[in-house]
Amino acid sequence: MAKAFSGKRPKDLGRTLHAFAGYLGRHRILLVLVGILAAVSALANLLGTYMIKPIVNRILEDGSIPGLVQGVAIAGLIYLIGALSTLGYTQIMVRAAQKVLKDIRHDLFAHLQTLPLRFFDTQRKGNLMSLFTNDVDTISDALNNSFALLIQSLIQVVGTLALLFILNWRLSLLVVLGYAAMYFYIRYSTKRSKFYFARQQTYLGELDGYIEEMVGGQKVVKVFNHEQANLEEFLRRNEQLRRAGTSAQSYAATMIPAVVSISYLNYAIIAVVGGLMVMMGWSDLGSLASYLVFVRQSAMPINQLTQQGNFLLAALAGAERVFDTMAEDPELDQGTVALIHTPAGSETRWAWQDTATQAPPVPLRGDVRFEHVDFGYDRGRTILKDLSLYAKPGQKIAFVGSTGAGKTTITNLINRFYDVTAGRITYDGIDVRQIRKEDLRHSLGIVLQDTHLFTGTVADNIRFGKLDATQEEIEAAARIANADSFIRRLPQGYETMVTGDGANLSQGQRQLLAIARAAVADPPVLILDEATSSIDTRTEALIEKGMDRLMEGRTVFVIAHRLSTVRNANAIIVLEHGKIVERGSHEELLAQKGEYYQLYNGMFELS
């Protein structure tokens, strides 16, 4: 996973350019039009400069004023066409660039939605955000500033060199030597700056990620008086970025002065040699006048090429990060079993049906079983070992145990955030790997310990569990979770805006909204991961009846540190180091005086 954010120079420039060309190809008509207009602009500039020769020679030959006016008018018309072409391609390029950027952002965001949780567990949010901001911005700069200018500059360089040879091939040999000196210096400088531009983008992403973490955790920072340490770490990272940026810009910044200096020296030599050639009759004055203007202008397109090269280097560094992330393998889903509605009057509202074989539907009852399951997040480190358990339809199964015992891991496997290493998990007798992930997760309602609310109204956050839920369904779900009363006391009730991940609500209120979100989904199976951990004892007692109504007729998995919340479970499973050490009802486990007994009495003594 870390490859997407490597600090090294692009490893596969060809692949990055190929991917970039694919996006440009989607809007080839606009870009071809930009290329044509840029070419016209470049050719107009070349032809306008070439017109100096006939104008000067006409004056020397006959001194005709009408001839001079005619020549100047033709040159003016040529330059006008070039100016209009420049105006046209800049406006079209803006529209084409925004379309390309829109496609890249769309595909990047869409691909992120398909990636497994394992990817997000190994990446910092700031690095991912940097893809959409810093890296896409560098691509935007390259498209808006470089695409058309590269075409125009390339035509001008080639056209200028060709016309120089046409006007005076002897002097052009000196120009070629100057061009060669420019080329070798640009090649050296580009090679060095490319590495530092890539490193600059990486350090910028890391700095953004660090700032995001520290801003989000300011309460913890202030509680532990960590401001100075944070500032020192920020200064270290900022210094890394400064050094990389300085190195990148130092090499890049020398390109234009070097090219200009070489061109000035070349111009001076050619002016002297050309003057001598005119005096000796080896060339006419009009050709020399036009030639010197071409030589004087020859540095400009080369400067533009080198300047746009800087944009391209930064863009390629950013584009590689974007395309590497988009090349990450998506979450695999080879399931063929779908969740379907059953006809009115059926035993259950939902059923499973294999779309590949079209076998008879299997009623969704909520029978979940683990059969000799092994699992580890990392190779060589097993979390669950030969785990076997069952939850019959409508049962409430509670998991208890010390931190790290594997409680949350079990629920992550049920909804296939991760897949088992060995063994299998069945849902109504069907291996969960055969069920399409979208349908599997649609059948599960989950309330996580760490609630996450989105910017929007309270009603919008509850509706997240069922996007087409009516206001009546939202309010009914809130009543089940006992959230309705506090919601109605908010300034705008259900239309109160939630911001900053619910910063304007208490932790308990946020968790009540998360429970209401699960309730509105009305799922056959519920997973409650420390669902009441942030709710005080009084509030917890108030929602127990509502939770009982929500859990009625459903299979429920409960993870709780408060043992008071699992007393009425059909079965309590005690986990230790990824293994089941005890299973039974509350009374049965207390009678055994084992692990659960010790946990319960420890909790009792603390309460």
Q: What's the pLDDT score for residue 431?
A: 93
With contact defined as beta carbons under 8 Å apart, do 86 and 41 qualify?
yes
Q: Which helix (H) or strand (E) holds 105?
A: helix 65-114
Q: Average the pLDDT over 385-403 and give the result.
A: 87
Tokens at residue 379, please?
Answer: 């190779």
Q: What's the pLDDT score for residue 546?
A: 57
How many whole angstroms separate alpha carbon 340 and alpha carbon 361?
Answer: 8
Q: What's the pLDDT score for residue 147?
A: 75
CB atoms within 10 A of CB 607: 9
Q: How far is CA 255 from the centre of its chain?
A: 33
Question: Percentage of the chain surpassing pLDDT 70?
Answer: 84
Residue 180 in domain? yes
User: Could you tell me which residue, 15 or 572, shows the higher pLDDT?
Assistant: 572
CB contact set of 297 (below 8 Å; sequence gap of 6+): 45, 49, 156, 160
Q: How many domains does the chain have?
A: 2
| Domain final position from 473, 495, 522 | 522
Q: Which residue has the tokens 């059948």?
A: 443
User: Could you tell me which residue, 302 or 595, shows the higher pLDDT?
Assistant: 595
In SS3 terms, 205-236 reads as HHHHHHHHHHHHCHHHHHHCCCHHHHHHHHHH
Tokens at residue 130, please?
Answer: 């940097």
Q: What's the pLDDT score for residue 473?
A: 92
Q: What's the pLDDT score for residue 82?
A: 85
User: Could you tell me which residue, 520 or 169, shows the higher pLDDT?
Assistant: 520
DSSP letters spanning 338-380: EEEEPPTT-SSSEEEEETTT-PPPEE----EEEEEEEE-SBTT
With contact defined as beta carbons under 8 Å apart, do 565 and 447 qualify?
no
Torsion-angle region of residue 358: left (phi > 0), alpha (psi -120 to 50) or beta? left
3-state secondary structure of 265: helix
Q: Average the pLDDT over 53-79 and give the result.
A: 73
Torsion-angle region of residue 63: left (phi > 0), alpha (psi -120 to 50) or beta? left
Q: What's the pLDDT score for residue 64?
A: 64
- Residue 223: is its pLDDT beyond 70? no
Residue 499 in domain? yes
- Residue 577: is its pLDDT beyond 80? yes
Tokens at residue 23, please?
Answer: 């996006």
How many whole angstroms separate alpha carbon 595 and alpha carbon 535?
Answer: 26
Nearest to 429 by CA among 464, 399, 461, 392: 392
Q: List the CATH number of the domain containing 261.
A: 1.20.1560.10
Nearest to 428 by CA among 402, 393, 477: 393
Q: Average the pLDDT over 324-328 and give the result.
A: 88
Residue 94 in domain? yes
pLDDT band at 84 (very low <50, low <70, confident <90, very high): very high
Q: What's the pLDDT score for residue 360?
A: 87
How many whole angstroms separate alpha carbon 559 and alpha carbon 527?
Answer: 8
How many whole angstroms separate alpha carbon 230 and alpha carbon 302?
Answer: 45
Strands 555-559 and 525-529: parallel
- Residue 348: is its pLDDT beyond 80? no
CB contact set of 239 (below 8 Å; sequence gap of 6+): none
How many whole angstroms separate alpha carbon 174 and alpha carbon 267?
Answer: 10
How many whole angstroms separate alpha carbon 197 and alpha carbon 241?
Answer: 10
Q: What's the pLDDT score for residue 550?
A: 67
Q: What is the mean pLDDT of the chain?
A: 80
3-state secondary structure of 385: strand
How many whole angstroms separate alpha carbon 93 and alpha carbon 263?
Answer: 30
**379 CB-side CA count, 13 A:** 0
pLDDT band at 9 (very low <50, low <70, confident <90, very high): very low
Q: Average the pLDDT over 324-330 and give the result.
A: 88
Q: What's the pLDDT score for residue 226?
A: 74
pLDDT band at 605 (very low <50, low <70, confident <90, very high): very low
DSSP letters spanning 524-587: SEEEEESTTTTS-HHHHHHHHHHHHHHHTTSEEEEE-S-GGGGTT-SEEEEEETTEEEEEE-HH
Q: Which helix (H) or strand (E) holds 304?
A: helix 285-326
pLDDT tens digit string along 147-204?
A: 777 777 778 778 777 777 777 777 777 777 877 877 777 777 777 677 777 788 788 8
Roughly how many angstroms between the first and final C-alpha of the chain, as a whole number? 44
- Residue 125: is its pLDDT beyond 60? yes
| Domain final position from 286, 304, 326 | 326
Q: Which residue has the tokens 């692949």?
A: 15
- Residue 6: is its pLDDT beyond 50? no
Q: Average the pLDDT over 464-473 and give the result.
A: 89
Domain range for 486 is: 454-506+513-522
Q: What's the pLDDT score for residue 7?
A: 37
Least confident of 44-53, 233-242, 457-466: 44-53
Beta bridge partners of 338: 353
How many whole angstroms separate alpha carbon 315 and alpha carbon 201?
Answer: 9
Q: What's the pLDDT score for residue 5?
A: 37
Q: What's the pLDDT score for residue 604?
A: 44
Q: Average the pLDDT over 451-477 and give the result.
A: 88
> How far lies 298's CA from each of 46, 150, 200, 238, 251, in Å?
10, 15, 32, 40, 22
pLDDT tens digit string along 227-268?
A: 888 888 889 989 988 888 887 777 667 766 777 777 777 777
How many whole angstroms separate alpha carbon 430 and alpha carbon 374?
Answer: 18
DSSP 332: P
Residue 129 in domain? yes
Q: What's the pLDDT score for residue 533?
A: 59
Residue 95 in domain? yes
DSSP 190: H
Q: Is residue 535 packed enough to be buried (19+ CB in 10 Å), middle (13-18) or exposed (0-12)?
A: buried
Residues counted in the chain? 607
- Residue 138: is its pLDDT beyond 90? no
Residue 128 in domain? yes
How many whole angstroms separate alpha carbon 572 and alpha carbon 401?
Answer: 10
Q: Average the pLDDT over 119-131 and give the result.
A: 80
Angle at CA of residue 367, ends 363 and 370, nearest 5°: 135
Residue 569 in domain? no
Least confident of 308-312, 401-405, 490-494: 308-312
Q: Average the pLDDT over 548-566 and give the result.
A: 74
Q: Average the pLDDT over 331-357 and give the result.
A: 83
How many whole angstroms separate alpha carbon 305 and alpha carbon 149?
Answer: 8
pLDDT band at 548 (very low <50, low <70, confident <90, very high): low
- Residue 146: is its pLDDT beyond 80? no
| Domain final position from 522, 552, 573 | 522
Same domain (yes/no): 458, 312: no
pTM: 0.69
Residue 106 in domain? yes
Q: What's the pLDDT score for residue 61?
A: 62
Q: What's the pLDDT score for residue 471?
A: 93
